[in-house]
Amino acid sequence: MTAAIVAPYITAWTEEQELPYALIEHSRGIGYADETIGDRDSHGVLWARTPLRLRHGRPEFGRIHPQRQRRAMSRLLCQVCAGPAGRNEDGVLWILRDYRDDWPSWPNRMGVTEPPICAPCARLSAKLCPALRRGAVVVRVGSCPVVGVRGMLYRSGGGRPVPVGPTTVAFDDPAVSWVRATNLIRELGDCVIIPFEDLP
């Protein structure tokens, strides 16, 4: 199956450009002027509007499709093939850039926007992804709760929201109602780094 993959499932394509939108502000944050029930998630967070046109045009490897990232992350699907992520009694499989020098227990307590992966796609990604070729590790993650979102933060502008900049916000932070989300975040815990050769 992985041999036919041209681009990872979460990659955006050229025919999936962001749709036009008008933001408004209200007492509890931001919203779309023509908001529908599908514009927010179960936490009440507003999400970017992007059409679903997978495999139309060319893949844009530096850009992630918000809805597909959210689906893969919430359902623990492989970010490459969209099948179930690798899982065993030690946890769910992730492939990460190697930042073990950042702190002693890395990647425990790290928030990630990259969804998990299956074993065949982990091997393929380590070979083909330029970022991962610089150094990657495979991790079994015992706990990975959904904790927040990444997106554009806005502030009140007297009726018209003013963009502040990209940010990461936890669901329990009041600022989350001023974010237009593009990525779901999970926090990794009970992590065990495993050798590539131990992948099933």
Instruction: Report d(CA 134, CA 127) in Å as an integer.
Output: 10
Any domain includes 115: yes
Any domain includes 19: yes
Q: Give the mean pLDDT of 181-187.
A: 98
The confidence score (pLDDT) of residue 1 equals 41
Q: What is the DSSP letter of 14?
A: T
Instruction: Report d(CA 97, CA 129) in Å as an integer.
Output: 11
Any domain includes 173: yes
The confidence score (pLDDT) of residue 124 equals 87
Q: What percent of the chain has pLDDT over 70?
A: 98
Q: Tell me how far apart the 2 most distant CA atoms of the chain are, in Å.
A: 57
Q: 181, 150 in Cβ contact below 8 A?
A: yes
The confidence score (pLDDT) of residue 101 equals 87
The confidence score (pLDDT) of residue 200 equals 75
Per-residue pLDDT tens digits for 11-63: 999 999 988 999 999 888 999 999 999 999 999 999 999 999 988 999 998 89
Amino acid residing at 182 = T
Judged against a pLDDT cut of 70, whether residue 3 lies above it is answered with: no
The number of distinct structural domains making up the chain is: 1
Any domain includes 129: yes
The confidence score (pLDDT) of residue 105 equals 92
Backbone angle region of 159, left / alpha / beta, with phi > 0 → left and psi within -120 to 50 → alpha:
left
Per-residue pLDDT tens digits for 98-140: 888 888 899 999 999 999 999 999 988 888 777 777 778 999 9
Domain that holds residue 185: 9-198
Confidence of residue 196 (pLDDT cuts 50, 70, 90): confident
The confidence score (pLDDT) of residue 130 equals 73
